Structure 1
Amino acid sequence: MVRRVLLRMKIISVEHEYGKDQKLRKEDVMILKQWTEMQCHLPHVSELHLMFFLHSCYYNIEMAKSAIESFFTIRTHCPEFFKNRNPKSTELVKQMNVGCCVDLPKKTPEGNQILLYKFLDRDVGKFDANEQMKLFDMGIVHCLMQNGTSEGVVVVCDFKGASFAHLLKINVSIVSKVFPYLQQALFIRLKAIHYLNVGLLVDGLMSLVKPFLKSELIDSVHVHNSIETLIQHIPIECLPSDYGGSQPSFKELHEDHCQRLFDFADYFIDEDTYIVDETKRIGKPSNPSEIFGLDGTFKQIEID
């Protein structure tokens, strides 16, 4: 089913990815393919996805195996983020107008893809943190499937319009699952996170996020109260016009992004199958209490 869905979508080709990245070797991808086929608990993993995993792990096969295992296992045990992802559903359509993460057209000089999240509706009652995290991940996955790999990913979160009430909805339980997934499972190279227009939320935000950041990423988290310090890291020409940049306005990017998600509905619906079958796992089945410790710290899953 996964292969058929991929063929129907307008996605990047494996030939294009091999052609643009000489370090990405087909023989290494085939080693991963053979390994996944021997893991009875894993679903089918497409060649394109295997390429993404290998690229995100800097071509290290053993690291890629660990990421693959973590990716599917975390998705299985976090249905609040990874189930019911039809972008045309009433709830997700509503949430797209509450907050949205778009991929910006122009990459940084280093070749990093920029993802910009922005609050669109200040009404706390409409804000659903789980659904927002779901849309955030869907945006990242869609960007990869349509554009292919990039040197890395830089995330900018614009907190203009957010309040302490919003922050209270992004609780420890959510962060303890999302950040391990972003850093250890999702097939991207997360290079930096920039928080913009944080204001008085800065202390609460950092105390919430910092415990779950890998040590090598802590120094790559930046807080900005104005665009002036953000553009010291990201060239202003990469930003939307309403941020002073030369790209289309966020409104235009948002409308285009939503339409592209709608066009990928079949892919996101099929993602419900991207889970492990614990009854077929060799050894002891995994469970949430073992994967996420009492302190919320992700426990690395052992692989053969």
Structure 2
Amino acid sequence: MTTKPVNVSEIYKNDKDLKKTDVEAIFDWVSKQPHLPEISEIQAILFLQSCYYSNELAKTTIDNYFTVKTLCPDIFGNRNPNNPSVKHAMNTVLMTVLPKLTPEGYATVFMRLIDCNPENYNFAHQIRNFDMAVLLYLHQNGPVKGMHLVFDMQGVVFGHLTRLSIVVMKKLLYYLQEAMPIRLRGLHYINAVPFIDKVLAMMKPFMKKELTEALHVHAESIESFYKFVPQNCLPEEYGGECERLDILHENIKCAINDNVSFFEYEESQTVDEKKRPGKPKNAGDFFGVEGTFKKLEVD
């Protein structure tokens, strides 16, 4: 059964910083951008809230979001839950937003291998499935004050490292920092493997100072992680109050499979570069060698 979107009137009611006039201004701006698709009210709210209610920053983020998604179909395309690659990715990695918020009101995106065979791991497809799970959650629940991204490296072997791509890593980190409508509070690796330094070496050239400071590796003990996400917010296997991993896995698979129309709508929202005022953009503008990631340089 398709889940209905969150009641936007409740969002306005509960968020004193969110102004209807600001949302209307975003709609008006989008309508005057011939290259951009129409957006929904919940999308406008998510962009505004994630940008701390700055209209100008929200406009830039909206353009980045739809442009990157259009220019990177290798990552963000083929979102239909009936697509075999979506199903395969769901059966390889658990990616879900845990039901219990932290005391600060932050959501926790929890990721862990289900199938530990590196041959079955596709980095680009996992990013797509991560994006699908998070955006469906936001569509159903509305914005949250922040998000922790948590990857439990239990079962990760060196073969998984060889499945990573520096180009895909660039795209992921640009999207996380410049386009995705979330307030990213922390990026955590728990049960970190000995070769985590090699993963971080791929990531850090493309991380802004703020994300570098929000990156935490919990190698020796998970105890250090609890100050960010309390133990009671975690699945049962970690001593928490959430359901077991197998139940969480089935729940997210059902949620994604039951919302085909939502993902079809998302995938239809593309940028038409032929209609963009000024010079059209291409992947090289974001991910090429010359001038790439100037915005992401660490001071």
The answer to whether the Cα contact below 8 Å between 1:227 and 1:243 also exists between their aligned partners in 2 is no
- With normalisation by structure 2, the TM-score equals 0.94
Q: 2:293 aligns with which of 285, 298, 304?
A: 298
Classify the secondary structure of the residue corresponding to 2:31.
helix
> What do residues 33-64 of structure 1 show as CA deviations (whole Å, max 9, x unaligned)?
10000000000111110010000000000000
- Give the counterpart letter for 1:53 in structure 2: F
Alignment correspondent of 1:268:
263
* Aligned residue pair count: 293
**Does the CA-based 8 Å contact 1:117-1:156 persist in structure 2?**
yes
Q: Helix, strand or coil: the match of 1:121? A: coil
What residue in structure 2 maps to residue 80 of structure 1? 74
Which amino acid is 1:136 matched to?
A: F
Distance 2:240 2:145 in 1: 22
Q: CA deviation at 1:296?
A: 8.4
Name the CA distance, whole Å, in 2 between partners of 1:45 and 1:269. 14
Once the two structures are superposed, residues 189-220 of structure 1 have per-residue CA deviations (whole angstroms, 9 ceiling, x without a partner) of 01100001122122111111111111112111
Shift of 1:233: 2.2
Deviation at 1:228, TM superposition (A): 1.9
Instruction: Provide the secondary structure at the position in 1 that maps to 2:37.
Output: coil
Whether the 8 Å CA contact 1:53–1:67 is kept in 2: the answer is yes
**Partners in 1 of 2:9 and 2:261 — Cα distance?**
23
Once residues 257 and 10 of structure 2 are traced to their aligned partners in structure 1, the CA distance between those partners, rounded to angstroms, is 24
Q: SS of 2:147's equivalent?
A: strand
> Which residue number corresponds to residue 283 of structure 1?
278
User: Which residue of 80, 103, 107 corresponds with 1:113?
Assistant: 107
Where in structure 2 are the equivalents of 1:38-77 lying within 5 Å? 38-77=32-71
Does the CA contact (< 8 Å) of 1:156 and 1:194 recur in 2?
yes
1:169, distance to aligned residue in structure 2 (A)? 1.3
Other-structure match for 2:128: 134
Question: How far apart are residue 250 of structure 1 and its match?
Answer: 1.4
Q: Which runs of structure 1 show a deviation greater than 4 angstroms over 4 or more consecutive aligned residues? A: none
Q: Encode CA deviations 1:151-190: one digit per residue, 9 max, x unaligned.
A: 0011100111111221221211111001110111111001
Q: Secondary structure at the match of 2:12?
A: helix
Amino acid of the structure 2 residue aligned with 1:263: D
Structure 2 partner of 1:242: 237
What is the Cα deviation at residue 297 of structure 1? 3.7
- How has the CA–CA distance of structure 1 residues 279 and 9 changed in structure 2, closer, same or farther, with 3 Å as cutoff? farther
Q: Tell me, which stretches of 5 or more residues in structure 1 are unaligned? A: 1-7
Say yes or no: does 1:13 pair with 2:7. yes
Other structure's SS at 2:34 match: coil
> 213, 223, 229: which one pairs with 1:228?
223
Q: 1:103-182 alignment to 2 at 5 Å?
A: 103-182=97-176
TM normalised by structure 1 equals: 0.93
> CA separation in 2, counterparts of 1:298 and 1:254?
35
Change (3 A) 1:296 1:161: farther
Q: Where do residues 200-215 of structure 1 align in structure 2 (5 Å cutoff)?
A: 200-215=194-209
**Residue in 2 that maps onto 1:199:** 193
> Deviation string for 1:264-289 (max 9, x for gaps)?
11111222212100111111100111
CA distance in 1, matches of 2:208, 2:237: 33
Distance 1:229 1:265 in 2: 39
